[in-house]
């Protein structure tokens, strides 16, 4: 595997404690923002001390972890704060498909962070003032929406074909995604979308990396020392029109055999992937309900303790792709996705997050997101298809899942 790396021979890194900076997103001075924010805490970065572009292949996570270990080991690091996210940090987003060449890691020149009452600033390289705001964010205007790879009727047919394959016994579940595109009158500023998403979905992980911006409810993995956490989401319903309707929808979701089956596939896979890596692992016997402003999900929080020293990227390699975004069996589902979706997902539904020099980090699944390229944005939504899936209901669910990013763009 040949990696494309842009970096100095040695990184010079200094982290210092700072007073509470307030809104982390508001401190970002440039549209090309890097961010991972959850309930107002996290890290935000800008500038590039190093960039790594990874080609496709099954060893991409291992290769990334190895190269970062080498770069961080060679760095000169002054980090008296010493909490997860201090020192040098690489933000990253990986292509969904192992064949995808669209995976990038960026080590920013400036990182502003806050965790549990501690705030810090990390500087790599020169000491120019990192908190000026030379380019105030401007909301998108003149939006023009277009269908993506498949119009709605063609996507419903793809769902029907997938259901037929499942009922014939070829696989248990497959996740099919749709895309939409939008054009704006001027280049789209990621910071505007980050502000809107973080304000509207504080329980989600709001992220930005190399033009991929979103707010995912799904924590693929968090590593803090030997401790790891994951949040499995599969099975979804829209929120109700009033409190009574909301309770009824949640109760139907919790009792739904179709959604419970979809969730079981995902939770079982995460357990099976993590068990060989862990000395202890706790997976709940049945899911709970996770309520977001627009959706309710079946959720299973998973916790464990690693049996050996592994980077968070080593754990990501064991987990991706989960049945929540691919299907089961994985290989059969991936082949069906390639056949039926009519598009390359790019980094949609791939891992997105960060890793530091200790191997700590947080990685989510890139859902409820858009890939921004100048004046153009490409939005994504996916649905888990099982034997009882109805194409019309799945299309309605996909429309609901598009709404967070559509609203973030339109205001």
Residues marked active site are found at 173, 218
HEC sequence for the chain: CCCEEECCCCCEEEEEECCCCCCCHHHCCCCCCEEEEECCEEEEEECCCEEEEECCCCCHHHHHHHHHHHHHHHCEEECCCCCCCCCCEEEEECCCCCCCCCEEEEECCEEEEEECCEEEEEEECCCCCCCCCCCCCCCCCCCEEEECCCCHHHHHHHHHHHHHHHHCCCCCEEEEEEEEEEECCCCCCHHHHHHHHHHHCCCCEEEEECCEEEEECCEEEEEECCEEEEEEEEEEEECCCCHHHHHHHHHHHHHCHHHHHHHHHHHHHHHHHHHHHEEEEECCCCCEEEECCCEEEEEEEEEEEECCCCCHHHHHHHHCCCCCCCEECHHHHHHHHHHHCCCCCCCCCCEEEEEECCCCEEEEECCCEEEEECCEEEEEEEEEECCCCCHHHHHHHHHHHHHHHHHHHHC
Give dist(CA 47, CA 17) in Å, integer.
20
Contacts of 285 (CB under 8 A, 6+ apart): none
């Amino acid at each position: 595997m040949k990696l494309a790396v842009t970096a100095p021979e040695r990184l010079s890194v200094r982290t210092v404690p700072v007073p509470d900076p307030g809104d982390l997103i508001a401190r970002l001075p440039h549209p090309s923002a890097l961010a991972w924010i959850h309930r107002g805490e996290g890290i935000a970065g800008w500038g590039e001390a190093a960039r790594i572009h990874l080609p496709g292949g099954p060893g991409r996570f291992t290769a990334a972890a190895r190269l970062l270990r080498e770069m961080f080991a060679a760095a000169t690091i002054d980090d008296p704060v010493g909490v997860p996210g201090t020192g040098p940090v690489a933000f990253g987003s990986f292509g969904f498909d192992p064949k995808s060449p669209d995976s990038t890691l960026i080590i920013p020149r400036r990182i502003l962070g806050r965790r549990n009452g501690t705030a810090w600033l990390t500087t790599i390289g020169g000491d120019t003032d990192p908190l000026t705001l030379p380019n105030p964010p401007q909301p998108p205007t003149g939006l023009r929406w277009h269908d993506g790879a498949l119009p709605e009727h063609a996507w419903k047919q793809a769902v029907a074909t997938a259901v037929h394959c499942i009922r014939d016994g070829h696989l248990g579940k497959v996740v099919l995604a749709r895309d939409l595109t939008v054009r704006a009158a001027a280049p789209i500023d990621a910071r505007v979308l980050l502000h809107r998403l973080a304000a509207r979905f504080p329980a989600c992980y709001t992220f930005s990396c190399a033009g991929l911006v979103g707010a995912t409810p799904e924590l693929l993995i968090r590593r803090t020392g030997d401790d790891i956490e994951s949040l499995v989401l599969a099975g979804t319903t829209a929120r109700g029109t009033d409190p009574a309707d909301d309770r009824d929808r949640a109760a139907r979701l919790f009792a739904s055999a179709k959604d419970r089956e979809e969730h079981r596939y995902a939770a079982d896979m995460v357990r099976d992937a993590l068990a060989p890596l862990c000395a202890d692992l706790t997976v709940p016997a049945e899911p709970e309900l996770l309520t977001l402003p627009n959706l309710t999900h079946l959720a299973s929080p998973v916790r464990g303790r690693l049996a050996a020293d592994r980077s968070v990227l080593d754990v990501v390699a064991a987990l991706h792709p989960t049945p929540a975004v691919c299907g089961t069996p994985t290989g059969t589902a991936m082949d069906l996705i390639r056949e039926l979706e009519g598009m390359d997902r790019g980094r949609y539904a791939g891992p997105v997050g960060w890793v530091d020099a200790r191997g700590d980090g947080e990685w989510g699944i890139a859902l409820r997101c858009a890939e921004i390229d100048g004046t153009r944005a490409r939005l994504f939504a996916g649905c888990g298809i099982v034997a009882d899936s109805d194409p019309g209901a799945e299309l309605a669910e996909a429309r609901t899942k598009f709404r967070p990013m559509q609203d973030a763009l339109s205001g």
